[in-house]
A and B are shown apart, each in its own frame.
Chain A
Amino acid sequence: MTAEVSAEPVQPLVEMRDIRVAFGGVHAVDGVSVDLFPGEVVALVGGNGAGKTTLIKTLSGAHKADSGEIVVNGEPVTISNPRDAQLLGVETIYQTLALADNIDAPSNIFLGREVRTRWRTLDDTAMEDASRKLMGRLNPRFRNFTAPVSSLSGGQRQSVAIARAVHFNARILIMDEPTAALGPAETEQVRDLIRQLKKEGIGIFLISHDIHDVFDLSDRISVMLQGKLVGTVKKSDVTQDEVLAMIIAGKQPGEVTAKDIEQLHL
């Protein structure tokens, strides 16, 4: 968590090159290349069915790519399951949160990576302690460490999902619609957290439908349409309308005319 962010050009954390995924005859992801640098937030945007989530699942290990290459820290890697991704420092916060509702917050945070005692038994006290410290940082109002997470509010559940992702020194974080189910206060909290993680040098892929989130938080924006990459732009170089034109019509920022923009706003 102490990675320094240097001003010089650095090696990308992740490069995904020419990724293809097909379901039956449908090309969900069709030759997409994206990359991510330390301390950077790259927003992945596009309409429903654009292939954002499928693309990102090849990085988190939930899906295998049919072809293409994933390079982490300059090394080509094979990610065939979630565990492979975790070992490479890739953590994912899914839109569905992917929590086991019937067990408590510490058990969820450490699920699959339990703290164990010398006798290989679960060390619940140590896990609860670590969870309390973690939550003190992420969401100080979080108190319920012994109830099943099904009894928690949407925001609290989100905190648990985030805690699980950041606890294990993630270097690459994937957030799929992290604020979709949250109220305004909780959304602000997640935004603060993203800024904080960015400062710590973590690279973040942010999937979002919310154009305000995207412009508020990201450094670069990669736009997908029908499984293909429309383009990747620097946030500072484009306007919201230009990005919307990319999302909806697949037009490059230069091609957008005043007429196009007018149509967007119809």
Chain B
Amino acid sequence: MSDASSVAAPVEEVAAPVEEGEPPKRRGASGVLRSMELDPRLFGMLIALAVIWIVFDIWSGGTFLSPRNLWNLSVQTAVVGIMTTGMVLVIVTRNIDLSIGSMLAVIGMFMGLLQAEWLPKWIGFDHPLTWLISLAAGIALGAAIGAFQGSLVAYAGVPAFIVTLGGLLVWRGVAWWMASGRTIAPMDTNFQLLGGGSKGTIGGTWTWILAVVACVGIVLFLVTSRRRRKKFGFNLRPVWADVTIAVVGCAAVLISAWVINSYPMPPALARKYAEDNGIAWPEGGLEIPLGLANPVLILIVVGLVMTFVATRLSFGRYVFAIGGNPEAAELSGIKTRWTIVRVFMVMGILVAIAAAVSTARLNAATSGLGQLAELYVIAAAVIGGTSLAGGIGTIPGAMLGALVAQSLQSGMVLIGVDAPVQDIVVGVVLVFAVALDSLYRRRLT
């Protein structure tokens, strides 16, 4: 690769593109970050996460970074993480959704009733399609509620804070009323797999396959984007930066897979698995990895899809343009109101997916499900660098924010911090994170 940093100027007839020449050489950590075109705030969050993990690990005498705890942490992050990806878009458009916790309860209750009481009358219990019908109907309901609330915001001009504050009260009440406060259980056998648990995982082999596919994906992405930029004669990242990103990225994926696969099935389950698959059961037992839990797989897929939506589709571009300058977006010919409605619909769909995971994990639907979820989700998005003023936020950042918040909470549980103190710590961290971020942003301008 001889194209390291000197861009050979392709002579063009039409007003030759401006040559940028050598990018200014920068030394030190910020120079390295700049060369790699990494977001310093995302990087800062990774550092914060590393510090939290290491401190808790030392404090808990090595329990925090055990495969078992990390596996649990990944599952615990899933529900909030899924919804956070949608909340980013809502907040970026200068709106807020306070109703998601109550929506989660309504949709969870709806899916629960559907599979436990309504569908069995028609197709019997544990029909192979029950889980799919329930999930699809729940997603449709989520989209409908989102469209309704979004329309009130976009067309009726009611502030999102008020619409969704109303929603917070209304949907919680509706969830109770749907089954007169009963707890609906159990869920369909297949549906339960969405919630993880010892059966709801993809297994060790598939975890490795997924990790390898992810590595290939990272490398392919870097190579194709490099090739495209070269074709147009844009200046390229130095080769060492691309290689570093590829190596670090792949290493992170493979280490995650290894950690996850280091958490074995409980002996009873492993024994049954061995019998089912005709594997001899040795004296000392077998360590069969559980593999990636389904909720985490769902979170990863949701994260990828939402990142794609936010950065590669016109819709995502419009969302950010509206957040940056609503008037300019309108004058550019963007259908801003319809875009807002769609943002709330996306939020509703994600709440439905989160509701499916929660009810499946709990193996029950209750009207109390998802209480305070809106606050955890908003906190995660904000810790993850989403600006409440609108226009700024990333999906990966918000997911990382969810992981940071969950790590704090799980860590405190692990070392036996009292519940009220946990709340105090999370509250302080939230305010501190935003203060730090606005300080950083003020230094930029």
Q: Which residues of A contact B (CB under 8 A)?
A: 60, 62, 81-83, 86, 92, 94, 96-103, 107, 111-114, 116, 120-122, 125-126, 128-129, 132-133, 135-137, 140-143, 150-151
Determine the residue in chain B with the shortest Cβ distance to A138.
B15
Q: B228, B231, B320: which contacts A102 (Cβ < 8 A)?
A: B320
Contact of B331 with A121 in the complex, beta carbons under 8 Å:
no
Interface stretch of the complex, out of B144-152, B311-319, B420-428, B430-438: B311-319
Q: How far is the CA of A253 from the CA of B229 in the complex (A)?
A: 59
Q: How far is the CA of A91 from the CA of B330 in the complex (A)?
A: 14
Determine the residue in chain B with the shortest Cβ distance to A84.
B333
Q: Which residues of A contact B228 (CB under 8 A)?
A: 125
Determine the residue in chain B with the shortest Cβ distance to A132.
B17
**B residues 282-324 touching A (CB-CB < 8 Å):** 308, 311-314, 317-318, 320-324
Please name 20 pairs of A and B residues whose Cβ atoms are closer than 8 Å in the assembled complex, sorted by A: A82-B332, A82-B333, A83-B333, A94-B331, A98-B332, A100-B329, A100-B391, A102-B323, A102-B324, A102-B325, A102-B391, A112-B332, A120-B313, A121-B308, A125-B232, A129-B17, A133-B12, A133-B14, A136-B18, A142-B18
Q: Which residues of A contact B320 (CB under 8 A)?
A: 100, 102-103
Q: Which residues of B contact A62 (CB under 8 A)?
A: 331
Q: How far is the CA of A96 from the CA of B331 in the complex (A)?
A: 11
Query: Can you list the 5 inter-chain pairs with the closest CB atoms, starting with the nearest?
Result: A102-B324, A100-B324, A136-B15, A112-B332, A83-B333
Number of interface residues of B (CB under 8 A): 36
Q: B20, B311, B322: which contacts A143 (Cβ < 8 A)?
A: B20
Q: Which residues of A contact B332 (CB under 8 A)?
A: 82, 98, 111-113
Q: Which residues of B contact A100 (CB under 8 A)?
A: 320-322, 324-325, 328-329, 391
Q: Which residues of A contact B311 (CB under 8 A)?
A: 122
Q: Which residues of B contact A150 (CB under 8 A)?
A: 445
CB distance from B31 to the nearest CB of A (A): 17
Contact of A111 with B17 in the complex, beta carbons under 8 Å:
no
B7 within 8 A of A: no
Contact of A101 with B324 in the complex, beta carbons under 8 Å:
yes
Q: A111, A137, A151: which contacts B321 (Cβ < 8 A)?
A: A111
Contact of A82 with B331 in the complex, beta carbons under 8 Å:
yes
Q: A83, A99, A122, A133: which contacts B312 (Cβ < 8 A)?
A: A122
Q: B322, B327, B333, B445: which contacts A86 (Cβ < 8 A)?
A: B333
Q: How far is the CA of A62 from the CA of B333 in the complex (A)?
A: 10
Q: How far is the CA of A197 from the CA of B379 in the complex (A)?
A: 51
CB distance from A153 to the nearest CB of B (A): 13
Determine the residue in chain A with the shortest Cβ distance to B391.
A102
CB distance from B128 to the nearest CB of A (A): 33
CB distance from A163 to the nearest CB of B (A): 12
**Per-position binary interface string of chain B over residues 223-255, scored 1 when its CB falls under 8 Å from any chain A CB and 0 otherwise:** 000001101101000000000000000000000
Q: B231, B313, B334, B391: which contacts A112 (Cβ < 8 A)?
A: B334
Contact of B18 with A111 in the complex, beta carbons under 8 Å:
no
Contact of A136 with B17 in the complex, beta carbons under 8 Å:
yes
B29 within 8 A of A: no
B280 within 8 A of A: no
Contact of A98 with B328 in the complex, beta carbons under 8 Å:
yes
Q: Which residues of B contact A86 (CB under 8 A)?
A: 333
Contact of A99 with B317 in the complex, beta carbons under 8 Å:
no
Contact of B229 with A140 in the complex, beta carbons under 8 Å:
no
Q: Which residues of B contact A143 (CB under 8 A)?
A: 18, 20
CB distance from A81 to the nearest CB of B (A): 7
Q: How far is the CA of A120 from the CA of B309 in the complex (A)?
A: 11
Contact of A121 with B321 in the complex, beta carbons under 8 Å:
no
Which has the most chain B C-beta neighbours within 10 Å: A86, A96, A98, A112?
Answer: A112
Contact of A125 with B18 in the complex, beta carbons under 8 Å:
no
Determine the residue in chain A with the shortest Cβ distance to B234.
A128
Contact of B18 with A140 in the complex, beta carbons under 8 Å:
yes
Known contacts A81-B333, A101-B391, A112-B334; is-contact A125 B327 (Cβ 8 Å) = no
Q: How far is the CA of A121 from the CA of B333 in the complex (A)?
A: 19
